[in-house]
Amino acid sequence: MKIFENDAETLSLMVVGTFETGVPPKVQTSELLMMFNARSKKQRYRIEPQLTIRADGEVIRTRQMKNYGSREEAGGLILEPLLTMTPYDVLAKMAAAKTVTIEIGTAKYELSSNSLEALRDVAKRMVQ
């Protein structure tokens, strides 16, 4: 899902996890892959940028991410895939929050109401 877009950059988020059908993920042991795809006119992020996630103002996750290299796309945009593993409970806290802010390095992004609704949908489907 796209979580930020302007004339200079776009940031999308993908959450990937594998769970047995009908079995809720275990909060302590279930890890999800969070992948941010950053597109901009120039490379923005270091090899291991710092990720901070805030839900309703509370820091719920701080971790180094991995920048898996940048590549140039059509139109001269640079794509940077940024990946990290995240416990399921972080996604659940994000989904339950009224506001979620994601900081990658010095860049700060606030999730829109549509993005929060999409996260709620993903979290809900994981426990059905």
pLDDT, tens digit (0-9, with 9 covering 90-100), for 14-59: 988 776 666 666 654 578 899 999 999 998 888 899 999 999 999 9
Cβ–Cβ < 8 Å for 104, 46: no
What CATH code is carried by the domain that includes residue 82?
2.60.40
Tell me the sheet residues that pair with 84. Answer: 34
The total number of structural domains that make up the chain: 1
Residue type at position 75: G
* CA 88 to mean position of chain CA atoms: 12
To 10 degrees, what angle do helices 113-126 and 88-96 make? 130
Q: What is the DSSP string of 91-114?
A: HHHHHH-S-EEEEETTEEEEPPHH
Cβ–Cβ < 8 Å for 112, 120: no
Q: Residues, the chain, total?
A: 128
- Tens-place pLDDT, residues 70-103: 899 888 899 999 999 999 889 999 999 999 999 9
Domain residues for the domain of 55 are 2-126
* pTM of the shown model: 0.86
CA dihedral angle for residue 50, residue 118, residue 115, residue 78, rounded to 10 degrees = 60
Identify which of 32, 2, 9, 53 has the alpha carbon closest to the alpha carbon of residue 126: 32
